[in-house]
């Protein structure tokens, strides 16, 4: 598990962190624009961008309004693909646990 510097304070003990760089900020702006997320979702878009640029397979979140939202996910994938990176699979911890219990390993 890897956490962004934004979430590390919430975790004890903190796992290794990834850092925000200009590439993540630029991709986050593209994600905001392409997904039509509100400007208040800048940090959410930054989480997606950081995970994508660092090659994370999954982004687990309880945020279903801006992150684990099935209406937004296709736009996130397309935006990341255009930027030359693979979008992480964004889901709730509950979703991923259910997949493993049902024998359906996440695809990635």
Whether residue 49 lies inside any domain: the answer is yes
Using one digit for the tens of pLDDT, what is the confidence trace for 22-54? 899 999 999 999 988 888 999 999 999 999 999
Domain extent, residue 45, equals 20-101
pTM higher than 0.85 for the full model? no
Residue 4's pLDDT is: 59
Whether residue 5 lies inside any domain: the answer is no
Matching residue, tokens 């493993």: 100
Whether residue 96 lies inside any domain: the answer is yes
Whether residue 70 lies inside any domain: the answer is yes
Residue 44's pLDDT is: 93
Whether residue 71 lies inside any domain: the answer is yes
Using one digit for the tens of pLDDT, what is the confidence trace for 76-99? 999 999 999 999 999 999 988 888
């Amino acid at each position: 598990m890897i956490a962004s510097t934004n979430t590390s304070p919430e975790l004890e003990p903190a796992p290794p962190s990834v850092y925000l760089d200009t590439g993540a900020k630029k991709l986050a702006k593209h994600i905001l624009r392409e997904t039509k997320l509100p400007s208040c979702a800048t940090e959410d878009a930054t989480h997606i961008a950081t995970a994508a640029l660092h090659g994370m397979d999954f982004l687990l979140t309880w945020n279903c309004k801006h992150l684990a939202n099935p209406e937004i996910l296709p736009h996130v994938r397309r935006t990341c693909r255009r930027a030359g990176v693979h979008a992480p699979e964004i889901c709730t911890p509950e979703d991923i646990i259910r997949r493993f219990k049902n024998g359906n390993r996440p695809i990635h």
